[in-house]
């Protein structure tokens, strides 16, 4: 499911639905929260596929982000039959669409971001991928040692 951005200079940009991680929040919890906030939907079977470090030009400035790429299922299976889903980023309305990854192959009118996402999803550039990622949240360890207090 991809958030579709308005066309700029003949190119429509698409980005996975999600958002930023809040301080002290792990990436999986952040994704679940963001999807709930943006399209009011719950996720199941959430699985981390990879992480992309993205350094990019942002209207003349340098942007830098770490993108945690997840695969998940929507709990409401009827949404898979919709052409699009309306969502909100703050007060700004957007549409999320279903688009096969092949729609971005050799198609200059469509751009999938972040850079490297197409390659990650299609298995290209796999030699640069780390296959094991462990999430450790010290807060959970400390709370467990204190009996949840």
Tell me, what DSSP letter sits at residue 148? T
- Start-to-end CA distance of the chain, whole Å, equals 38
pLDDT at 58 (0 to 100): 86
Number of C-beta neighbours around residue 17 at 10 A? 20
pTM (2 d.p.): 0.80
**Comparing 125 with 122, which gets the higher pLDDT?**
122
* Contact predicate 19/30, CB 8 Å: yes
Q: How confident is the model at residue 125 (pLDDT cuts 50, 70, 90)?
A: low
Q: How confident is the model at residue 46 (pLDDT cuts 50, 70, 90)?
A: very high
Q: Are strands 61-74 and 84-89 parallel, antiparallel or unpaired?
A: unpaired
Domain count along the chain: 1
- Which domain, by its residues, includes 127? 2-145
Q: In what order do the strands lie in the sheet containing 84-89?
A: 84-89, 92-97, 2-4, 12-16, 110-112
The CATH number that applies at residue 69 is: 3.90.79.10
pLDDT (tens digit, 9 = 90+) per residue, 70-122? 999 999 999 999 999 999 998 999 999 999 999 999 999 999 999 899 998 99
């Amino acid at each position: 499911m991809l958030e579709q951005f308005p066309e700029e200079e003949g190119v429509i940009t698409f980005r996975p639905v999600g958002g930023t991680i809040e301080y002290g929040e792990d990436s999986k919890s952040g994704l679940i929260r963001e999807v709930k906030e943006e399209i009011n939907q719950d996720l199941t079977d959430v699985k981390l596929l990879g992480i992309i470090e993205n350094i990019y030009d942002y209207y003349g400035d340098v942007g830098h982000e770490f993108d945690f790429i997840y695969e998940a299922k929507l709990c409401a299976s009827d949404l898979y039959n919709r052409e699009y889903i309306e969502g909100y980023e703050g007060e700004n309305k957007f549409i999320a669409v279903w688009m096969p990854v092949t729609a971005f192959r050799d198609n200059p009118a469509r751009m999938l971001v972040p850079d490297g996402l197409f390659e990650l999803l299609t298995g290209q550039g796999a030699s640069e991928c780390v296959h094991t990622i462990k999430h450790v949240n010290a807060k959970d360890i400390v709370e467990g040692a204190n009996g949840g207090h």
